Amino acid sequence: MDAAEIKGRIKEIITNITNIEPSEIEDDASFTADLDLDSLSLLEIGVDVDYEFKLGLPEEAMRGIDSVNATCQLVEKRLREKSATADVA
């Protein structure tokens, strides 16, 4: 899965929670400053991203994730880690 596909799926998750159209969500959009999301919406996004990509992240891993790009980077990193672990096993 490449970065563009991950970003697209993350934007779909944001849309499902906020009703903001994906075309209106910039790649570098800040969840609070640009999209004006509250803490409950951020929690929902974190849970849905974790579920969508089957990341198995601890709750604290999503803390501090404040933008679409940061979320995408976290997902990419975790998918690489899971892949490397699966290759070793």
Average pLDDT over every residue of 23-48:
95
List residues bridging with 67 in a β-sheet. 30
Using one digit for the tens of pLDDT, what is the confidence trace for 58-80? 878 877 789 999 999 999 999 99
Q: If you average pLDDT over every residue of the chain, what do you get?
A: 92
pLDDT of 62: 79
pTM for the whole structure: 0.90
Distances (CA, A) of 4 to 20, 63, 73: 19, 23, 11
CA distance 8 to 26: 11
Residue 72 is given by DSSP the state H
**Most distant CA pair in the chain: distance in Å?**
43
Indicate whether 54 pLDDT > 90: yes
User: How confident is residue 1, by pLDDT bands cut at 50, 70 and 90?
Assistant: confident
Q: Is the dihedral of CA 57, 63, 67, 70 positive or negative?
A: negative
